[in-house]
Amino acid sequence: MTRTSSADPKKDRYRTGYHHLAICVGDRKDVDDMMKKFDADGVIVVSGARTTGDGYYEAVVVDPEGNEIEVIAEHDDFRD
């Protein structure tokens, strides 16, 4: 839906509120496959797939409204 009287100012990355949304998509191959699809579709990639310092395999993209979405693989912490 669009509304000409609505304003949606550019989102500052370090604004108050949530910083990003994280979605677990399966294993590392699933993350890699999803990132290839996002790249082919022209989605803005903030950071490509990698293993973080705390052991998570993840990548970050930006949705059309400027929200960061973290795409992650299953992690042992999820099984506790």
- The tally of domains found in the chain comes to 1
Domain carrying residue 70: 20-79
Tens digits of pLDDT across the chain (80 residues): 456 666 666 667 666 667 789 999 999 999 999 999 999 999 999 999 999 998 999 999 998 888 899 999 998 766 65
> 71 has which bridge partners?
23, 59
**d(Cα 43, Cα 45) in Å, to the nearest integer?**
6
Residue 56 forms part of a structural domain: yes
Tokens for 12? 């500052």
In-domain check, residue 58: yes
The CATH number of the domain holding residue 54 is 3.10.180.10
